[in-house]
Amino acid sequence: QGCDGDDPAAATDGTVPTIKIFGYLQTQYDYTFNDIHENTLTFKRARFGIRGKVKDDFSYYFMLEASPFIGGVGSTYLMDAFVSYEKYNWAKISVGTFKQPFSLEVNTPCNGLTTINRSIVADQLVAPQRDFGLIVLGGNKYTKFRYAVALMNGRGLNVVDNNSKKDIIGRASYKLFDFMSIGGSFRYGYPNNNDNTRTSYGGEMVLTLNNLKIQGEYIYDEGDYNRAAGGGCGSEPVELGNKRDGGYIMISYDTKWKVQPVFKYEYFDPNIDVKKIGYQEMMTIGANYFVNDKIRFQLNYQAHIETYINIDNDILLAQIQVKF
């Protein structure tokens, strides 16, 4: 009487190995340097999923977010779920929910970020970070050139599209030299209705000089936006003006003791035309310690810099991540 039909309960036919269970848990301690010394133990992300192949060229990906602090639903929900057709390396196709192919940092796996948080500009302007869509991807980490183009609802997860037009989002990157990659992103969409559009551009660059890595991005965004879509990864969305931009530069170094110090400078301007309100800069000083490829400790100190009215809001974040 269940949905799985009349099959025998136990699989003994060798089909199980094509199912891979995966996930990771990010347990975090946040301390804010303000008057009331806000501090809490919390989860950042708590994800698990199932993936596998069902045929030579067809695979599936099914992942849930169980952290109560991301997504606004307070309980476990389906985050990334898609079917892929991967016959052609230069035109892999996926349909379902996944991240918008915009920005290097947004498209870095959430368990592989060098700082605990993404940059403010990525969380605020590449929103919704996840959405329903159809994506075509080409290349992989071994190719010099990579690209991705997606048609997406533009409304985010857990809702259907409320307008009849789809958003188009794309990103391409190219390895100019062994030590240098550059890339760009583009988005043209309809956040709320069929009339008001949103246009976004992004540029990115990565330099890898032996153990030193320097990564930078710039994002420019204008037009309508959907406040209900929230910020990326549970961040509080801020009010945006008609034009907004931001960027970051991040420097990290792999030492031989499995420790990776990192420094990040970033800024975000939610309204380019009105400089005085909302403009913020932030410096992050941190270190990652990799016990092995499954366990990572992260420590980040975020120095928030408000240009006009200073607020006591520097934050210390400590995270343990375990992958399975």
48-107: contacts with a copy of itself (CB under 8 A): 48-55, 58-64, 66-69, 73-83, 94-99, 101, 107
Specify the residue, 79 or 219, whose C-beta has the smaller distance to a copy of itself: 79
Q: How far is the CB of 183 from a copy of itself (least distance, A)?
A: 15
In the bound complex, what is the minimum distance in angstroms from residue 11's beta carbon to a copy of itself? 5
Identity of residue 33: F
Please name the residue ranges forming H helices in the chain: 120-125
Of positions 70, 102, 104, 110, contacts a copy of itself by CB under 8 A? 110
CB nearer to a copy of itself: pick between 99 and 244: 99
In angstroms, give the least distance from the CB of 322 to a copy of itself: 5
CA angle (46 as vertex; 21, 116 as ends), nearest 5: 120
The CA distance from 176 to 183, in Å, is 10
We find the least distance from the C-beta atom of residue 16 to a copy of itself, in angstroms, to be 7
CA–CA distance, 147 with 136 (Å, rounded to integer): 8
Residue 238 three-state SS: coil
Nearer to a copy of itself, 96 or 223 (CB): 96
Q: For 300, what's the count of Cα atoms within 13 Å in the CB-facing half-sphere?
A: 28
Nearer to a copy of itself, 193 or 211 (CB): 193
Q: How far is the CB of 171 from a copy of itself (least distance, A)?
A: 10
User: Tokens representing 157?
Assistant: 């997860």
Minimum distance of a copy of itself from residue 276's CB (angstroms): 31
Question: Using an 8 Å Cβ cutoff, are 288 and 213 in contact?
Answer: no
Residues 6+ apart with CB under 8 A from 40: 29, 30
- Between 259 and 295, CB nearer to a copy of itself: 295
CB of 27: closest distance to a copy of itself in angstroms? Answer: 5
40: tokens are 């809490």
Residue 88 CA to residue 282 CA, distance in Å, equals: 42
Give Cα separations from 244 to 26, 179, 232 (angstroms): 31, 31, 16
- We find the least distance from the C-beta atom of residue 241 to a copy of itself, in angstroms, to be 29
Give residues 146-205 in contact with a copy of itself (rule: CB under 8 A): 148, 152-153, 157-161, 164, 194
Q: Which residues, at least 6 apart from 59, have a Cβ–Cβ distance to it below 8 Å?
A: 51, 52, 53, 83, 84, 86
Q: Which of residues 267-296 bind a copy of itself (CB under 8 A)?
A: 291-292, 294-295
Number of residues lying near a copy of itself (CB under 8 A):
99
Looking at the Cβ atoms of 102 and 279, the one nearer to a copy of itself is 102
Under the criterion CB under 8 A, does residue 317 sit at the interface with a copy of itself? no
> What is the rounded distance in angstroms from the CA atom of residue 118 to the CA atom of residue 224?
23
Angstrom distances, CA of residue 145 to CA of 167, 175, 322: 24, 7, 32
The single residue among 122, 127, 133, 173 that binds a copy of itself, judged by CB under 8 A, is: 133
- Spell out, one character per residue from 4 to 23, where the chain touches a copy of itself: x when CB under 8 A holds, - when not: xxx--xxxx---xxxxxxxx
Q: What's the rounded Cα separation, in Å, for the pair 167 and 199?
A: 10
Nearer to a copy of itself, 194 or 242 (CB): 194
Single-letter code of the amino acid located at 29: Y
Nearest distance, CB of residue 177 and a copy of itself, angstroms? 22
